[in-house]
Amino acid sequence: MVNEEGFVGDYAKKEFAHADPQNARAALTYAVGVHKAMQGKSPPSGSREKVDLAWCYADLSLIEESAGNENLAKDHMSQAQQILSGLGMRCPVSRLLASSSLF
């Protein structure tokens, strides 16, 4: 199951980087669902899964912001920041996104 979680996360990231916003949104939403389902079965074994989930939320935030869905964008970014804060990361997601190789 961890392989599925990693696979859908990687796929979602590729969709975000290369696909149209609707396909990227669908892939990221699916990846969030898989991450959440895995958490329900067993807690994440490491921080990688949590960071992947945070990135899915951050990417969804960017998609929603560009679509004019400000409230949903803020909700997704808040989820990402909460996950990263739980891991002890103090750097705001917006600074991480600004330094991302995708942009």
Whole-number pLDDT of residue 36: 85
Q: Give the span between the Cα atoms of 47 and 33, in whole angstroms.
A: 17
Per-residue pLDDT tens for 43-84?
A: 655 688 888 899 999 999 999 999 999 999 999 999 999 999
State the pLDDT confidence band at 103, using cuts at 50, 70 and 90. Answer: very low
Asked whether residue 4 carries a pLDDT value surpassing 90, the answer given is no
Neighbour tally for 2: CB within 10 Å: 13
73-80 contacts: CB < 8 A, separation 24 or more?
79/54, 80/54, 80/55
Would the CA dihedral through 85, 43, 56, 78 be positive or negative? negative
Ranges of each domain in the chain: 2-98
Give helix 47-66 / helix 21-41 axis angle, nearest 10°: 150
Whole-number pLDDT of residue 78: 94
